[in-house]
Amino acid sequence: MNRFLKTHPVSMLVYFISVIGISMVCKSPIIQLISLFGAASYAVWLTKGREFLSQLAFFVTLFLLISVTNPLFVHNGKTPLFFMNGNPVTLEAVICGMSIAVVIISVILWFSCMTRVMTSDKFYFIFSRISPKLALVFSMALNFIPKLKKSYKDTEKAHKTLGIYSTDSRVDRLKLKLKTMSSVVSQSAENSIETSASMNARGYGDKKRTSCFVKKFTAFDFFVMVISLAVFTAEIIFMLNKTLAFEFYPTFSKITIEINGVIAYSGCFVLCFLPVIIEITESLKWKYFVSKI
Amino acid sequence: MKKDLLVVFFVVLAVAVLIMGTEFQSVEEYYLTHADEITEDSDTVYFSINCENAVSSGKLSESQLKELNNGEILKEKEYVLLDGESVFDMLKRVCRFEKIHMEYQGADKNIYNSAYVQGINYLYEFDCGETSGWIFLVNGKQTDTSCGKYKLQDGDKVEWVYSLDAGKEFLK
**Model confidence pLDDT, tens digit, residues B71-129:** 889 999 998 888 888 899 899 889 988 889 988 887 656 667 778 899 999 999 998 98
Burial of A18 (0-12, 13-18, 19+ CB in 10 A): buried
Q: How confident is the model at residue B2 (pLDDT cuts 50, 70, 90)?
A: confident
* DSSP alpha helix (H) spans, chain A: 9-25, 29-47, 50-73, 91-117, 120-127, 132-161, 170-201, 219-240, 259-272, 274-292
Q: Which pLDDT value is given to residue B113?
A: 72
Q: CB contacts < 8 Å between A and B, how many?
A: 59
Q: Is B28 on the interface with A (CB under 8 A)?
A: no
Chain B residues in contact with A76 (beta carbon < 8 A):
101, 103, 119, 122, 124
Beta carbons of A276 and A37 less than 8 angstroms apart: no
Task: From residue A178, give the alpha-carbon distance in Å to each of A72, A138, A174.
Answer: 30, 28, 6
Instruction: Identify the pLDDT of residue A85.
Output: 81
**What is the pLDDT, as a whole number, of residue B29?**
85
Compare B149 and A268 and report the one with higher pLDDT. A268
Instruction: Tell me the average pLDDT of chain B.
Output: 87
Q: Do B26 and A253 touch (CB under 8 A)?
A: no
Rounded-to-integer distance, Cα B40 and Cα B52, Å: 33
Q: Which residues of chain A have pLDDT under 50?
A: none
- Residue A188 to residue A183: CA distance in whole angstroms: 9
pLDDT above 80: residue B154: yes
A172 conformational bin, left if phi > 0, alpha if psi -120 to 50, beta if neither:
alpha
pLDDT digits (tens, 9 = 90+) for A156-191: 999 888 887 777 788 888 888 898 999 999 998 898
The Cβ of residue B163 has, within 10 Å, a number of other Cβ atoms equal to: 21
pLDDT of residue B134: 92
Domain boundaries, given as residue ranges, for chain B: 27-170
pLDDT tens column, A102-121: 999 999 999 999 988 988 78
Terminal Cα distance for chain A, rounded: 18
Average pLDDT of B31-40? Answer: 77
CATH architecture of B27-170: Beta Complex (2.170)
Do A78 and B103 meet the contact criterion of CB atoms below 8 Å apart? no
Q: What is the pLDDT of residue A293?
A: 61
Q: What is the pLDDT of residue B109?
A: 62
ipTM (interface pTM): 0.84
| DSSP 8-class letter at A76 | -
**B23/A84 CB distance under 8 A:** yes
Domain spans, chain A: 4-123+212-292, 144-201
The pLDDT, as a whole number, for residue A103 is 96
| CB atoms B27 and A253 under 8 Å | no
Q: Which residues pair with A214 in a beta bridge?
A: none
Name which of A10, A4, A5, A6 is nearest A225 in CA terms: A10
Contact: A76, B103; criterion CB under 8 Å: yes
